[in-house]
Amino acid sequence: MSAVRTPARVLDGAVVAAAIRESLRPRIEDVRRAAGRPPALGLLLAGTDPGSEVYVRNKIRESEALGMRTALKRLPDSAAFDEALAVVDAFNADPGVDGILVQSPLPAGMGDDAERRIFGAIDPSKDVDGFHPANVGRLVQQTPALAPCTPAGVKELLDRCGVSLVGRRAVVIGRSDIVGKPLAMLLLHRHATVTICHSRTVDLPQVAAQADVLVAAVGRPAFVTADFVKPGATVVDVGTNTLTDRDRVTSIFGAESKKLAAFEKRGRVLSGDVHPGVAEVAGAITPVPGGVGPLTIAMLLSNTVQAAERRLGIRS
């Protein structure tokens, strides 16, 4: 008689994000008492990218729900890079702004290196996305820094869900400056043995299948299949991909799936980088949506509060 397979434990990012937000409330009040105002986040939104509009709206809503202030500056698609730089310079100089976020992508007309240049222009003490070179260096050196929000959210999720990293093998698929590289550093600081994989990795499924903790951050729907996963491993799906092709939805989720039913109503659904069949092998897994996504915004709020505390000399 074959053993009954226990379904993978779902690591609920929404629950963890809610706990993080609640933990910020007394700290926000401490800032209010010290500064005469709550922590404040300045946001720059350049262009009309629909995804960016949604992300910025969600960030503002979550910030203001906690009683924080936000200041949104908009620029049109036709804006020059110097106009974006002027907004960042104004936020840098404003003592009433604790954190600065430049929503990416920037309009193509600003140039191929616009994001690198604009992130480098942000005051590191206000860099709540953690992309400034000074904050990247501090992260590597394990000195106090504002860490990138998505990697920090993954770390919080694993910690709060009791996933041990000490001495464990962790594999990160994806080497972006925003997720893959900083997450590898955070896992290393938790004493995991870390491997970063990418498009040139030889025998990628075999390498991934050695992981006790596997993170997928490649931006390719259902890329990680069951053969990538060691039985019982923890799988973290960072991907958020929009599917608009019915056949693709059917091939990934099945003809009788809830995802296909949702597609029939809305004409699009979200897929992570991890195939749903992985849940039959993994010991724990994050859902999409509702896994890493909510934690990214929660850590943005946390970084903004932390930036305000540091500027005021308040120890959290």
Instruction: Tell me the catalytic residues.
Output: 59, 103, 129
Length of the chain: 316
